[in-house]
Structure 1
Amino acid sequence: MKFFADTAQVEDIKELNDYGLLDGVTTNPSLVAKAGGDFLTTIQSICQIVSGPVSAEVAATDFEGMMREAAVLSAIAPNVVIKVPLTLPGLQACRALRAKQIDVNVTLCFSANQALLAAKAGATFVSPFIGRLDDINLDGMQLIHDIRLIFDNYDFDTQILAASIRQPNHVSDAALAGADAVTIPPNVIRALANHPLTQKGLETFLKDWADSGQTI
């Protein structure tokens, strides 16, 4: 499974990339605004840190505007993936961009039918939002299962990028459901490595080693 960092905080991306844990990064206007700084400069900085796909989202909602902004964003670096909303104009832009061999992440997916449309439009990635479905008492993870079954039924190449991850269990559940990738906030990525028994075992080993008086 591919791990993407869901953030525009450059320092977090540098840290996680140095651990060797990142396959890419996803951003959106809200994350970039939270990070501060110029939008285009931020995307450029991220692309210089990671070699994998970096999703940069258009702000326009009409087809012509999306295409115009996509041209600007895709010129930043070869690993930029254009992120478009799962609307009819967004799907139209997806089809047009893919015809130009530009990778596209279709975002804000909340149903299997929407994911099917994204795949038919040739999307590189489709991003189902797990956490936001859970927030309204729907089963976000079941959506991943449903999309996986549909995509496998028809051999679609579109990758399932599980998004709106809120906790470590979302990551393992998405992996079990067959998601191709997951985009995770930095604090959740760090939490994946934490377990109380690991820490307890390490403390015991360190104490026993210190008591032995040996060195390496």
Structure 2
Amino acid sequence: MRFFIDTANLAEIREAKAYGLIDGVTTNPSLFSKESENWRTLADKICHEVDGPVSLEVVGTTAEDMVREARDLAGIAPNVVVKIPMLMEGLKAVRQLSEEGISTNVTLCFSPSQALLAAKAGATYISPFVGRLDDTSSDGMELVNQIITIYRNYGFKTQVLVASVRNPIHIVQAALMGADVATIPFKVLNRLSRHPLTDAGLTQFLEDWKKTPGAQG
């Protein structure tokens, strides 16, 4: 499973890149709003910082506006994937962009029927928002399981990109289900490596090493 980091913060992207853990980046208007740099300048820097896909989102709500924005965004760098909202107008835009060879990521997916429509429209990625579903007492990971089953049943090429990830369990479950990608906030990415038994074991090893003859020299 590939890891995309979900951020528009260049420092976080560079640190995650240094770990050797990320395969791409996802952004959205909310993430760019948290940064002080001009969004387009920052987007260009992000696209040139990583080799993998970088999702940049349109803000239009009509197919015409989305296609126009998508073409502009795709011109920033060859690794841009254009995020399109899960609307009927969005699906129309996805079909047009697919025919033009522009990669798309259909975002704000909350049902298997939406995912089915996105795949039929030719989306490159579908982004089910698991954390937001969990917040409404629904099972976000069950949606991922349903989407993967539907796509396998019919051989759809659309990749399942698990989004709105809140904790390491989401990532483990996504990997067990066979999701193609998980897009992960920086703080959750760091939690993946942690375990209290690892910390306790390391502390014990270091304490024992201090008692080892010759270790102090």
TM-score category, normalised to shorter length: over 0.9
* Deviation digits for residues 97-143 of structure 1 (CA, Å, limit 9, x no counterpart): 11111110000000000000000011110000001111111111110
Structure 1: distance between partners of 2:64 and 2:42: 24
1:155 equivalent in alignment to 2:116: no
Structure 2: distance between partners of 1:155 and 1:187: 34
SS in 1 for 2:34: helix
Shift >6 Å, 4+ stretches: none
SS in 1 for 2:106: strand
Query: In the alignment, what sits opposite 2:206?
Result: 206
Pairwise CA distance, 1:215: 8.2
The one-letter code sitting in structure 1 at the alignment partner of 2:132 is: R
Q: How does 1:122-141 map to 2 (within 5 A)?
A: 122-141=122-141
Query: In the alignment, what sits opposite 1:183?
Result: 183
**Higher deviation after alignment, 174-183 or 109-118:** 174-183
SS in 2 for 1:107: strand
Query: In the alignment, what sits opposite 1:15?
Result: 15
Q: Any conservation in 2 of the 1:168–1:192 contact (CA below 8 Å)?
A: yes
* Deviation digits for residues 45-66 of structure 1 (CA, Å, limit 9, x no counterpart): 1111110000000011111111
Q: Any conservation in 2 of the 1:144–1:178 contact (CA below 8 Å)?
A: no
Query: In the alignment, what sits opposite 1:104?
Result: 104
Pairwise CA distance, 1:174: 1.3
Q: Any conservation in 2 of the 1:105–1:125 contact (CA below 8 Å)?
A: yes
Structure 2: distance between partners of 1:11 and 1:45: 11
Paired residues in the alignment total: 216
Query: In the alignment, what sits opposite 2:195?
Result: 195
**Higher deviation after alignment, 111-120 or 60-69:** 60-69
Query: In the alignment, what sits opposite 1:116?
Result: 116
State the TM-score, normalizing by the size of structure 1: 0.97
Pairwise CA distance, 1:42: 1.3
Pairwise CA distance, 1:209: 2.5
SS in 1 for 2:97: helix
**Higher deviation after alignment, 36-45 or 102-111:** 36-45
Alignment root-mean-square deviation, CA:
1.3
SS in 2 for 1:132: helix
Structure 2: distance between partners of 1:43 and 1:94: 21
Query: In the alignment, what sits opposite 2:45?
Result: 45
Q: How does 1:63-74 map to 2 (within 5 A)?
A: 63-74=63-74
Structure 1: distance between partners of 2:216 and 2:73: 53
Flag structure 1 segments of 5+ consecutive residues without an equivalent: none
Structure 2: distance between partners of 1:171 and 1:145: 13
The one-letter code sitting in structure 1 at the alignment partner of 2:194 is: N
The one-letter code sitting in structure 2 at the alignment partner of 1:10 is: L
SS in 1 for 2:179: coil
* Deviation digits for residues 141-174 of structure 1 (CA, Å, limit 9, x no counterpart): 1101100110000000100000011111111111
* Deviation digits for residues 50-105 of structure 1 (CA, Å, limit 9, x no counterpart): 10000000011111111111111111111010000010111111111111111100
Structure 1: distance between partners of 2:209 and 2:170: 37
